[in-house]
């Protein structure tokens, strides 16, 4: 029995915000959380991959904005050595659902092994979020929204945060 040749996994993930909440996937077996997205397939861009994955996993059409962060990690998962490049993109719903502004839309999983949950940014640090560095990416203290606010032109939607000049 031969083993698979080790390779670098390129994973495109999306940061979808609703007010002070971010959409996360929860693995139903392990109970841990991660940002929605998945592996980039040969011949597609990372932005195309995150859009495809959100359609496949949540039937959720999104507009993909700029890449916010790239994170490389090498780790062991059980008996398997892993090497990942995670690319985090800002994404927004193509046609936002019309719930009251304070309530994020319900996102139903299309896959039996995961669920989608809107999590308050203030609660991110308490979760088993993987990779663990993702809490920093999301800016548990609002840093991602601050990053996006530095150039409103890079924000996809009309509700771009206003730049705060210091």
Per-residue pLDDT of the chain (166 residues; tens, 9 = 90+): 445 777 899 999 999 988 888 899 999 888 899 999 999 999 999 999 999 999 999 889 999 998 888 999 988 888 989 999 999 998 988 875 555 456 566 676 666 668 889 998 888 889 999 888 888 877 643 544 555 554 444 445 444 444 334 4
Query: Hey, where are the domains in the chain?
Result: 9-152
In sequence order, the β-bridge partners of residue 115 are 26
Question: Which architecture, in CATH terms, is 9-152?
Answer: Alpha-Beta Complex (3.90)
Predicted TM-score (pTM) of the model is 0.76
Residue 105: name the closest of 120, 122, 87, 118 by CA.
Answer: 118
- Position of tokens 């940061």? 15
């Amino acid at each position: 029995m031969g083993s698979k040749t080790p390779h670098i996994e390129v994973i495109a993930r999306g940061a979808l915000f609703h007010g002070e909440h971010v959409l996360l996937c929860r693995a139903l077996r392990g109970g841990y959380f991660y940002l929605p997205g998945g592996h980039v397939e040969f011949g597609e861009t990372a932005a195309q991959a995150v859009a495809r994955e959100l359609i496949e996993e949540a039937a959720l059409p999104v507009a993909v904005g700029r890449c916010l962060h790239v994170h490389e990690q090498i780790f062991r998962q059980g008996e398997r050595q892993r090497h990942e490049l995670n690319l985090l993109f800002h994404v927004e719903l193509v046609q936002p659902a019309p719930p009251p502004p304070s309530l994020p839309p319900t996102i139903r999983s299309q896959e039996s092994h995961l669920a989608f949950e809107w999590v308050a940014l203030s609660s991110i640090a308490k979760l088993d979020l993987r990779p663990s560095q993702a809490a920093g990416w999301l800016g548990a203290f609002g840093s991602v929204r601050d990053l996006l606010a530095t150039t409103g032109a890079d924000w996809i939607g009309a509700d771009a945060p206003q730049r705060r000049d210091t």
